[in-house]
Amino acid sequence: MTINRTNITALSDKELKDLITSDKYDSRLFALSDSLRREYYGTEVFIRGLIEFTNICKNNCLYCGLRCDNTSLSRYRLSQNDILSACDEGYALGFRTFVLQGGEDTFCTDEYICRIVYAIKTRFPDCAVTLSIGEKSRKSYAAYLSAGATRYLLRHETADYAHYSRLHPASLSLENRKKCLFNLKELGFQTGAGFMVGSPYQTSENIVSDFRFLQELSPDMIGIGPFIPHSETPFAAFPQGSLSLTLRLLALLRIFFPYALIPATTALGTIHPEGREMGLRAGANVLMPNLSPPSVRRLYSLYDNKICTGEEAAECIACLKSRVDSVGYKIVANIGDVRRHNN
């Protein structure tokens, strides 16, 4: 097969599965994905300041260290002042997008979230606010939009119903997760979906379903990263996701969705010291460094051994700049909107 975008996007499920599971095409896939990323985004890398504002969560996802059954974790919630200070620091460092990410913390009502979003937008009118706070009603999403949030991240985690139910408690359903994502799109959010690579029980057929679901949703952002076990979860003994498969899937995502904003995730940087650089070379074009106060970084423990929990934001961004330069790309200080067309 000639490796080009037309051929790859026309593959049958079986052919796509074979491509996902073979390393035979890797160098050609990476060359094609890098040429597409350059066509749409040049060598630019967008940065998003991640503010992990609460590690309190009512849910009990089997893979996640923030699950409510993990009683060994100290829980925190940043005040609005802490959040605004993190934004101040980020703005001075060149960030023009702030991502408010948190567990599903019932204390954070819609009014509470809207107040914070509105305060950030008032202080930084030239910045975008992204929310990543889980499954909410359409009405709640509409309220966040009115308050000034324009982007929303909600990974679908897996597009296979049986697999979804092995990763989540019975209170969560793939059906509702999909409904949330379509609601976000319909309301006009720049919407992000995604999944973990190598999550327990994941098959290559599941990954094909993930690609098919993403084709149906056509999200603006797609976040994938390796599954990494957390010691205080039922999945503590499962192996972490593979680096080479994650990189191959990043390349395939760029080929299927050339316009997309695709982060080289912290999880990828956690399983290999140069994981994020390799992710950029494979097709990723976004980095999401942490702006949370270092005192709480360690407590946002989705998985074990997370990197960058000891550094100040300024140290991380300096470190990242040289890492990005080392692979021939460039961090830019703009709002970094999606580019649906290559012009």
Q: Give the chain's length.
A: 343
Q: Residue 97 or residue 290: which is nearer to ligand FES going by CB? A: 290
Select the binding partner of residue 311 from ligand SF4, ligand FES, ligand 5AD, none (C-beta < 5 to 8 A, by kind): ligand FES
Q: Integer distance in angstroms from the first to the last C-alpha of the chain?
A: 29
DSSP string spanning 108-156? S-HHHHHHHHHHHHHH-TTSEEEEE-----HHHHHHHHHHT--EEE---
* Cβ count within 10 A of residue 302: 22
Q: How far apart are CA 317 and CA 53, in angstroms?
A: 19
Site membership for ligand FES, residue 320 (CB under 6 A):
yes
| CB contact at 8 A, 109 and 136 | no
Q: Is 194 in the site for ligand SF4 (CB under 6 A)?
A: no
Distance of CA 9 to the CA centre of its chain: 23
Decide: is 177 part of the binding site for ligand 5AD (CB under 6 A): no
337 binds, among ligand 5AD, ligand FES, ligand SF4, none (CB under 5 to 8 A by kind): none
Q: Does 230 sit near ligand 5AD (CB under 6 A)? A: yes
Taking CB under 6 A as the rule, does residue 63 contact ligand 5AD? yes
Using the rule CB under 6 A, is 316 a contact of ligand FES? yes
CA-to-CA separations, 248 to 45, 205, 207, 274, 318, in angstroms, rounded:
19, 15, 12, 16, 28
The interface mask with ligand FES, positions 257-296, x = CB under 6 A, is ----------------------------------------
Q: How, if at all, do strands 221-226 and 190-197 pair?
A: parallel
Backbone angles phi, psi at 301, to 5 degrees: -100, 80
Binders of ligand SF4 among 112-151, rule CB under 6 A?
134
Q: Is residue 324 part of the contact set for ligand FES (CB under 6 A)?
A: no
Residue in 61, 114, 271, 282 binding ligand SF4, rule: CB under 6 A: 61
Cα–Cα dist 40/115, whole Å: 35
Contact range with ligand 5AD by CB under 6 A, out of 88-96, 221-229, 274-282, 335-343: 221-229
CB of 94 to ligand SF4, least distance (A): 28
Instruction: Using CB under 6 A, list all residues that contact ligand SF4.
Output: 57, 59, 61, 64, 66-67, 103-104, 134
